[in-house]
Structure 1
Amino acid sequence: MLEKIPHAVGAALSGLKAGLDKTAYRTTFATVPESLGLTSLAFTDGTAMPARVTADGAGASPPLAWTGLPPGTARVVLLCEDAGSPTPSPLVHLIAWNLDPGAALAEGAASQAESGLDLGKNSFLKPGWLPPDPPTGHGPHAYLFQVYALDRALELPEHPGRGALLEAMAGRVLAKGCLVGTYERP
């Protein structure tokens, strides 16, 4: 959808970015110990994500695995935010909550609401993975895939948004970790 924005408009907006300092990782959970590992078979930390996990490809959610969970971890939450979006706050690309600590997500697992996972609403108000779709000419976007270890399962309505998720997580987070993938259109 955003690929239709003219290159000149994307370039003109290139200085407007939500910023890393507005992500949940750096605001709401800034003081949580950063001891979890988060990896993907599709890309490594700080590198470009392949087109297949974006709106320019199949749009499948990337495979993700976490390590280093502390004792007492009951559930895991994944949150992906786009710190490079030309919006006041980062765009939400994924909310997956009450994940089994011993599990991992296969490629495409979070792409649809019918996945069997507890998925929250992305910034387009739909449950599941919102494939990266930055404006042409806007420059690189940093997608922060955040993992949180929780001391108990969360009780949330079906498909919560970011605000409800963060509120429910307050005081429940034992540790966190982050994986950054980048993506841009020329």
Structure 2
Amino acid sequence: MALTLISKAFAEDQPIPAKYARTGENLFPPLAWSEAPDKTRSFALVVEDPDAPHGTFRHCGIANIPAEWTALGESADTAPEHAPRFYRNDFGQARYDGPQPPPGDPPHRYIFRLAALDVPTLSIPDAAGIGVMWAEAKKHTLEEATVTGTYQTR
């Protein structure tokens, strides 16, 4: 079987509830995965909006998710010490920042990409952004799974 990724907060290609938006409570939506490859030693996650006006916009990047984990709960940025590491998003913050498409835009897609990695950690400088983290993660990716939600600012 292949790596799968789901969210209890929204179904594939369905709207993401407002509480997970940057203009709402800005909570990280719960995610769960299964069927990771046997050689998985950690996971990395990126949240991207490919419909942003100036190209793909990255809302969240997390690396060093332990291989034994099968989920990230709501508000994952409150995880305990020695937990996964957040990287600077395109808002300039090392955290999750939810959907915030421009008013009047049609619904944007938000793609949550989970990569199963063959290394236990990624060694990336603190100042690095999501792009640097994801490029390094791609070098070690065994398999990737996605779940996509939509959001429109009303």
TM-score > 0.5 by shorter chain: yes
Distance 1:159 1:129 in 2: 16
Gap runs ≥5 in structure 1:
1-33
Confirm or deny that 1:96 pairs with 2:74: no
Partner of 1:177: 145
Counterparts of 1:170 and 1:54 in 2: how far apart (Å)?
27
Which residue matches 1:12? none
Letter in structure 1 aligned against 2:132: A
TM-score for both structures, normalised by structure 1: 0.75
1:119 alignment partner in structure 2: 86
Between 1:146-155 and 1:156-165, the stretch displaced more is 156-165
Secondary structure (helix, strand or coil) at the match of 1:110 reads helix
Name the amino acid aligned to 1:141: H
Which residue matches 1:154?
122
User: What's the counterpart of residue 96 of structure 2?
Assistant: 129
- Could you tell me which residue of structure 2 aligns to residue 110 of structure 1? 77
In 2, distance between residues paired with 1:138 and 1:157? 35
Question: Cα deviations across residues 47-89 of structure 1 (Å, max 9, x unaligned)?
Answer: 00000100232111111111110011000001000011111x3
CA RMSD of aligned residues (A): 2.0
Change (3 A) 1:162 1:56: closer
What does 1:1-186 align with in structure 2 at a 5 Å threshold?
35-87=2-54, 89-103=55-69, 104-110=71-77, 116-152=83-119, 153-158=121-126, 160-186=128-154
For residues 150 and 55 of structure 1, do their structure 2 counterparts lie closer, same or farther at Cα, with a shift above 3 Å needed?
Answer: same
Deviations 1:123-145 (A, max 9, x none): 01110101111111111000000
CA gap of 1:159–1:50, structure 2 versus 1, over 3 A, is farther
For normalisation by structure 2, the TM-score amounts to: 0.89
Runs of 4+ in 1 over 2 A off after TM superposition: 114-117
Report how many residues are paired.
151
